[in-house]
Each structure stands twice: as C-alpha cells, then as structure tokens.
A = this chain, B = another copy of it.
C-alpha cells in the first residue's frame, strides 16, 4: 500500500483523487488545499487540512497545484523522508530542490470539471532525482495507468509542447469553427461528427496521410474565396495554415 498526501483542489487533483481512490494499492491519507470550501467539496472521505505544517506522514506527496505555486508550496513543506513530486508538464525538477527525494508525476491529459476520465490510458510521464525512488513512483503510476513513461525534463517539455499544439490550439480551432457557425446561424453540433472522425483517424493513419482540404489540393480558387470570408485574426491563421500545409507537401 502506497500512502499519498495530495496537495491541491483543482481539476488535476480532483481527477487524481478519484483515480487513487479507485486503485487497490494506494491510500490517499490527506488532501491539502487553501480553500476550505473546495476541500469539503472534494475530499469527502479523506482527512484534509489547509495548514502545510499539519501534513500527515506519507510515502509520496503529490503537488497537483498551479505551476506558479509549486516552488512556494514545496519550500514551505518541512523535510520529510518521502518522495515529493509535482504534476506539471513544464516546470523543471529543480523547483522542488529543497527536497532531495523529488520527482515528476505528469499526466498527459486535459482535465475539466465534471468530465469522467479513464485514467488507465492516460500516459504518465515520470522523472526522479534519485534512481532509488524509481520503483516507488512507477508503482504509484501503474496503480492508475497502464501507460508509464520515464523521461527527463527536456523530453517532458517537448511532449508538453506537442500537447499544446494538439490540444490547446486544436480546441481554439473548434472555437473559431463555432464562431463561424454562430455568425451564420448554423448549429455548431453539425460539426461534431467531423471533429470526432478527424480525431479518430489518427489511430489508423498518420496525420500527414489523412490531410485533405483546399490547402492540401492547392485549390487556389477555394482558398481565395475562403480568405475573403474571414476577419483579421482567423484570416491570418487561415493563411499561415495554408502556407504550412502547402510546405509540408512540397
């Protein structure tokens, strides 16, 4: 049984608590958060505290808090003979430098309130400062996911960068698509099957092979006609995407 103190009351922490609670060999012994209301909502069957001096003993402390708070919170935690990890895709291991047994426990997924997630398939990107901590962190990750990857901070930065493209930027394209629909009194859910299929395709063919559309065909007539319909920022994106797709297939 791996005992865990979970720090944070946001989306990542809430989803991790559910996953740890569902795992057989993990016990979350305490949740820490600044907001009592958030703690009460989240930690129904688990002791909680808003005082970093009252943290219970555990094998692993998981800091699932926003990037800009990690160093501050880590520095306030007293020295413990335990592994301290954060869940950020971008923050280096060194933000936890006060603690000799430190690591990364980064779930590569987008977390939103109320969305059910199958943690089992979420890639867990792990790193430890001390190789002796590797089995412990691996066991904790395998308790909730089948996809466990050890990688250094440089590679983690790269996978996070790739994630920004396929998640954050893709979602913004969905927003721009919805915006075009709204302006023209078309229901956005008309685009749902297309969005779903576009995402599904990558499982059976590479994106470079799945590419279709006016830019792929270099269909100048359609490109010009579509450019004429767009406002400034979507137009810049349209033009840049068109150039980037053309260049990819040159």
Q: How many chain A residues touch B (Cβ–Cβ < 8 Å)? A: 90
**Residues A184 and B155 in contact, CB atoms below 8 Å apart:** yes
- Most chain B CB within 10 A, of A176, A216, A230, is at A176
Q: In the complex, A90 Cα to B201 Cα: how many Å?
A: 23
Which residues from 145 to 186 on chain A have a C-beta closer than 8 Å to any C-beta of chain B?
147, 149, 151, 155, 157-178, 180-181, 183-186
Asked whether A190 and B123 contact (CB < 8 A) given A208-B178, A211-B168, A226-B164, the answer is yes
A159 to chain B, nearest CB (A): 5
Judged by DSSP, the binding face of A is helix
**Residues A184 and B158 in contact, CB atoms below 8 Å apart:** yes
Q: In this assembly, does A38 line the interface, its C-beta being within 8 Å of a C-beta of chain B?
A: no
Query: Chain B residues with Cβ under 8 A from A37's Cβ?
Result: none
- Chain A 186-202, CB-CB to B under 8 Å as 1, else 0, gives 10101111111111111
Of A23-31, A44-52, A131-139, A235-243, which stretch is located at the interface? A235-243
